[in-house]
Amino acid sequence: MSIININDNLTTRIIPEYDDEVAIILFVNEAEFEEWFSNIAQKHANWNLHQSWTNEKAGLFLGQPLAAPLRLNTIKYQCDHAGKPKKRKESEVSTKKARTKESIKIGCPAYINKHLLTDGAVEVKYRWKHPDHNPCEVQEIISYRLPSEVKQ
């Protein structure tokens, strides 16, 4: 059983600097992507798994040399501030379950699209700018919920 330090996630925040607002990054394999995701992307902001889909027809070409590899699997992550807050009527919220914090959803357009290609490489489309909030700001970091690992 590993010991989780609650301060680990808050100690280091990285602000990536890419030339374009949407960066295209190519990794040789999935392990290289996982290393980048845990060491760069997750230290920049909190990401939620949004969608995942598989191109089953491209599976026939897995491992075959193609002029342009096909996308086999796509996973989309969104910033935890993406989306709109749910509007609730006053009568829906009981006094026992009244929220103490407002929603963090502000429609942030930042995302990570991970495409696993038929040649084993991983192509990432990374929209890294958060125009309406700063994920590295101390006030925002301390307002985050506890990670699920800490809650257990």
C-alpha torsion angle, residues 138, 20, 81, 75 (rounded to 10): -120
Is 2 a domain residue? no
Instruction: Read off φ and ψ for residue 60, nearest 5 degrees.
Output: -65, -25
Distance CA 127, CA 110 (A): 5
> Could you report the per-residue pLDDT of 76-85, keeping only the tens digit for each?
999 988 888 7
Q: How many domains does the chain have?
A: 1
Q: Is 129 exposed, middle or buried (0-12, 13-18, 19+ CB in 10 A)?
A: middle
The closest of 86, 124, 138, 131 to 110, measured between CA atoms, is 131
pLDDT at 6 over 60: no
Q: Name the pLDDT band for 70 (thresholds 50, 70, 90).
A: confident
Is 121 among the domain residues?
Answer: yes
Is residue 80 situated within a structural domain?
yes
Q: Is residue 79 part of a domain?
A: yes
Q: Is the pLDDT of residue 32 over 90?
A: yes
Residues 77-108: tens digit of each pLDDT: 999 888 887 776 665 556 666 656 777 887 88
Q: Which residue range forms the structural domain that includes residue 59?
A: 20-84+101-151
Residue 122 lies in a domain: yes
Comparing 30 with 136, the larger pLDDT belongs to 30
